[in-house]
Amino acid sequence: MSLLLASLGFGLVTAAVLAIASVGFTMQFAVTDVLNLAYGAVMILGAYVAYAINQHGVSIWIGVCVAAMFGALISVLLNRGVYTPFQRRGTAPIAIVIVSLGVTLILQFGLQAYVGGNTVSYQLDQVPTLSLGGLRLTSVQLVIIGLSVVTMLAVHALLRFSRLGKAMRATAADRSLARTCGIRTDRVVTITWLISGALCGVGGAVFAMDAGSFGATSTDLFLVLILAAVFLGGPGQAYGAMLGALVIGVGTEVSAAYLTPAYKDVVAFAVLLIMLAVRPTGLLGSRT
Amino acid sequence: MGNGLVFYLTTMLVYAGVDILACLGLSQQYGVAGVTNFGFIIFQAAGAYTASVLSLPHDTANGGFQTYLGGWSLPFPLPWLGAAVIGAVLAVPFTFLVGRRLRGDFAAIGLLITAVMANLLVNNYRPLFNGSAGLSLVPAPLQDRFDPQSAGFQWAYAVTAIGLALVVYLFLRRVTESPYGRSLRAMRDNDLVADSIGKNVVSLRLSMLVLGGAIAGLSGGILVGFINLWAPSGWTYAETIVLFAAVIIGGAGNHLGAVLGALLVPLAFEEVTRFIPAFGPPGLIPALQWVAIGVLIVGFLWFRPQGVLPERRRIAARFAAAPRKPDGAAVAQASATTKDTDDWSLPGARLPISPVGNRTGRTRPVQRRPAEPARVILRAEELTRTFDGVPVVSGVSFELHAGRLTGLIGPNGAGKSTTLAMLAGTLAPTTGSVVFHDREITTLPAYKRARVGLLRTFQLASEFKRLTVLENLLSAVPRQPGDSFHGAVLGRRYWLASEERAIDRAEVLLDQFGLTRYANQYAGDLSGGQRRLVEIMRALMAEPAALLLDEPVAGVHPHLAHEIGEQLLRLCAAGMTIMMVEHELAIMDEFCDPVIVMAEGKVLAEGTMDALRGRSDVVEAYLVG
């Protein structure tokens, strides 16, 4: 029982990190139709920016904010400089996925060339503050969960209640129709990259906190978890990504407790492949 | 020649052979067939592991310092054969990823994730292939008879590797330059349309996964026999990206381009950087290499997406001498000239096709309303389709009669195209059924409907862009001997005669539609109107019993539209059944009888245009609004 509770605690933290990252990824895909595999690379860049700030004695939470801004900036630049030009030219979606893989190599190994191959860690105060049976969460983990819940509520409010959210949903449904209806889709797309990029930056920083130590290629595997969460909920579905993150996050950690930890990510992989085979539109997606 | 130099040269040659094999396999999948296999490296790894455990002794040998499955000490060439076979067999479970339902980029992601996870599994699970340490002391082929360190052995190995690469190159060229290869390229350009003209895209993609898997497996077997060790760090998912970079830079779809890419990227690139004097901390140069690969991929896709050696256009000699208008004027205008019009008014005897419907022995005169009731060819029964719970088509029933040109009109959103898609099998009805030639075909996939003679065209341009006009036409010819893997492997002599007959038919059609001079042009380079014609011609090449046309004359010059109408009537007279969705009422007036009116997902009325004009509900729903 305590094993279950302990793994549940880990699972909730992983799910919290995953939710922030997955919602950003799925929003990007929904509104811009780019399966941006460089997302993981931007995440780790954000994590390193927070690290650089943290190294100067500044609180890591300020680092998270800077990582958000940095992620937003890089994402907008990527869209403006790379993805939109390719899309304007009529490049096939699959070729853009290949482009995003190229961008991944450039960003990730560019970072590695700069910071080297060693792993680093943030300066954090790790004190257990919540202990409930076997469930033990540190203050940092609690803040991560809280941050994730607040982010999800904010995304919900944005999509449901704001004009911008409405414009984003319209653009996601049909870009040319949205433009015909007077929505400035270019601006909506840019703002989407801005918001999802900020989520990506935050996701990177909290991922690094949760992981403890990290290196330039640490998000490679985490990207697989993001993809699993996104496809489980249905690609492009923000609420689906939240649900997917919860299932994958808790699922991998609980299975790690009962199976061998080395294979915990394989659970996510199995879920992803089953979803692709059985229901490619995801749990919350429409049937085709 | 010094021993060091011999070793260096032969090593480079073996690597070249292995890289060429891998790039050829990937080029066949991605460049020719449009199957984006981001998990390609798994197949090479599978081949390497297979060859290893087939040739290694049982794992208690060598002091038992490594654990692995098998260990059968099999003699050469069994380990290499096993590598190719396992590479091929491993592809089969991936069928579900390349089905009709899944977007190509989603499938690619699935394969990428599989590659990451397979590496993780093998890395962590030691009993399988010795975990992260990998397998070592893998025997070289025939090492009990020859000394693997001798110069002679090294040269023999290199020659064998290059020789096998050459054999595979010739084999793939044979496959690609056949009607089967044309089907693969058609699928690459537009899988939905390939499906609609009778190509089984799942089977085609599976064949390519299996073929590429076998080639990748063989390359792994050759490599491991030479370097004698194989570990998970050597086949990370990123190695697939290197191969993609090679194929893109060399020229996807051109096998020589794949060879060039293999020599340029995995081989030369790694070698050149070896001579750069070491600088910076350890790990810097490999990191910069990866950055450079990324820059090459993005740069080439932007500046030269077709690669250094682009796929070449297949030019049919017969049409090569055809005079071409220097300005490439649209045929819609060209056809308006007197000469073309004369061609068109030739009697139906010049028809290049013999519709299946002719088998009834009855030919219908070109006239409205034949006296006797015509046979029902296609019947829609209570067809309903909802999208996200919203009904788009609800309870549509009608019949198409043999030898009739039936029109289908209705305002935008009436459900015309959806109905047509359900008839052709592009879209599954929510409820209701489709009956063709007294046979229930509701669950029959589109490609099988095409094969029994029920064909459709599309509202949006759906030509195969990187096939020539002639190839577009030939792609639809049913039951070609060369249009199967088997037939393609048997070679030109096996299928050339039927190909020539098909070209003969295409020649007549091209002449009738005034597109002869464009036969060797890429269909994607034609004007909108010309592309519609290509699509109609392609459908006719399939000799369908029933043809469903979705706005065939949209964007076509009115004069030519009229000629197409005449042509369709002649086809009906010869026994073909045609249904046409069209907004151009003049065409309906002149050629279609009966005309079915749809509005808001239902059939509103059916009758001659004259009768329909007299009905106030029809006029209100469509003719006025």
Boundary-marking domain end, from B170, B203, B235: B235
User: Is A81 part of the contact surface with chain B (CB cutoff 8 Å)?
Assistant: no
Domain residues for the domain of A256 are: 2-278
Q: Which residues pair with B387 in a beta bridge?
A: B390
Q: Specify whether B227 is located in the same domain as B335.
A: no
Percent of chain A with pLDDT over 90: 54
The letter for the amino acid at A191 is: I
pLDDT, residue B359, reads: 36
pLDDT, residue B366, reads: 45
State the Cα torsion B208-B210-B211-B213 to the nearest 10°. Answer: 110
User: Is B65 part of the contact surface with chain A (CB cutoff 8 Å)?
Assistant: no
In chain A, residues with a C-beta closer than 8 Å to the C-beta of B104 are 93-94
The answer to the question of residue B252 being in a domain is no
Q: Does pLDDT of B94 surpass 70?
A: yes
Q: How far is A102 from chain B, CA to nearest CA, in Å?
A: 4
Q: Which residue of B has its CA nearest to A260?
A: B124
The answer to the question of residue A217 being in a domain is yes
CATH number of the domain residue A272 falls in: 1.10.3470
Q: How far is A22 from chain B, CA to nearest CA, in Å?
A: 15
Contact between B558 and B585 under an 8 Å Cβ cutoff? The reply is no
pLDDT band at B520 (very low <50, low <70, confident <90, very high): very high
User: Is B302 part of the contact surface with chain A (CB cutoff 8 Å)?
Assistant: yes
Q: Specify whether B218 is located in the same domain as B336.
A: no
- The reply to whether residue A85 touches residue B282, judged by beta carbons under 8 angstroms, is no
Q: How far is A269 from chain B, CA to nearest CA, in Å?
A: 7
pTM of the full structure: 0.89
pLDDT per position as a tens digit, A117-166: 889 998 876 666 777 766 778 888 889 999 999 999 999 999 989 999 99
Overall domain count for chain B: 2
pLDDT, residue B285, reads: 85
- The reply to whether residue A94 touches residue B301, judged by beta carbons under 8 angstroms, is no
- The reply to whether residue A266 touches residue B238, judged by beta carbons under 8 angstroms, is no
pLDDT, residue B362, reads: 37
The answer to the question of residue A216 being in a domain is yes
> With b meaning 16 or more CB within 10 Å and e meaning fewer, what string describes A43-65?
bbbbbbbbbebbeeeeebeebbb
pLDDT, residue B346, reads: 33
Q: Which residue of B has its CA nearest to A99?
A: B298
The answer to the question of residue B249 being in a domain is no
Cβ contacts below 8 Å, chain A against chain B, sum to 128
- Please give the residue that has the higher pLDDT: either B374 or B501: B501
The answer to the question of residue A101 being in a domain is yes
A220: left (phi over 0), alpha (psi -120 to 50) or beta: alpha
Q: Does pLDDT of B348 surpass 50?
A: no
The answer to the question of residue A190 being in a domain is yes
Contact between B534 and B463 under an 8 Å Cβ cutoff? The reply is yes
Q: Does pLDDT of B608 surpass 70?
A: yes
Q: Which of residues 223-242 of B touch A (CB under 8 A)?
A: 238, 241
Q: Which residue of A has its CA nearest to B301?
A: A99
The answer to the question of residue B515 being in a domain is yes
User: Is B428 part of the contact surface with chain A (CB cutoff 8 Å)?
Assistant: no
Q: Which residue of A has its CA nearest to B112?
A: A224
Inter-axis angle of helices B151-176 and B255-262, to 10 degrees? 150
Give B133's DSSP letter. Answer: G
Choose among A20, A77, A56, A62: nearest CA to A202: A20
Q: Specify whether B335 is located in the same domain as B206.
A: no
The kind and range of the H/E element at B469 are helix B469-475
CATH number of the domain residue B381 falls in: 3.40.50.300
Mutation target for B interface from A114, A276, A279, A287: give the one with most B CBs within 10 A: A276
The answer to the question of residue A41 being in a domain is yes
Q: Residue A101 is nearest to which of B103, B241, B280, comparing CB atoms?
A: B241
The answer to the question of residue B361 being in a domain is no
The answer to the question of residue B409 being in a domain is yes
- The reply to whether residue B291 touches residue A113, judged by beta carbons under 8 angstroms, is yes
pLDDT per position as a tens digit, B173-217: 999 999 999 999 999 999 999 999 999 999 999 999 999 999 999
pLDDT, residue B342, reads: 37
User: Is A118 part of the contact surface with chain B (CB cutoff 8 Å)?
Assistant: no
Q: Specify whether B335 is located in the same domain as B229.
A: no
Q: How far is B349 from chain A, CA to nearest CA, in Å?
A: 43
Q: How far is A260 from chain B, CA to nearest CA, in Å?
A: 10
| Other CB atoms within 10 A of residue B479 CB | 10
In chain A, residues with a C-beta closer than 8 Å to the C-beta of B290 are 105, 108-109, 112
Contact between B423 and B380 under an 8 Å Cβ cutoff? The reply is yes
Overall domain count for chain A: 1
Boundary-marking domain end, from B179, B209, B235: B235
Q: How far is B238 from chain A, CA to nearest CA, in Å?
A: 9
Mutation target for B interface from A29, A84, A101: give the one with most B CBs within 10 A: A101
Give B25's DSSP letter. Answer: H
Order of strands across the sheet that contains B602-607: B454-456, B546-550, B577-581, B405-409, B595-599, B602-607
Mean pLDDT of B451-473: 92
User: Is B81 part of the contact surface with chain A (CB cutoff 8 Å)?
Assistant: no
Q: Is B265 exposed, middle or buried (0-12, 13-18, 19+ CB in 10 A)?
A: buried
Distance CA B570, CA B354 (A): 12
Distance CA B62, CA B574 (A): 78
pLDDT, residue B586, reads: 83
pLDDT per position as a tens digit, B532-556: 889 999 999 999 999 999 998 887 8
User: Is A212 part of the contact surface with chain B (CB cutoff 8 Å)?
Assistant: no
Domain residues for the domain of B472 are: 331-340+374-624
Boundary-marking domain end, from B194, B215, B235: B235
The answer to the question of residue A39 being in a domain is yes
The answer to the question of residue B314 being in a domain is no
pLDDT, residue A283, reads: 73
* Coil vs helix vs strand at B558: helix
What is the DSSP track for B493-514?
Answer: HHHHHHHHHHHHHHHHHHHHTT
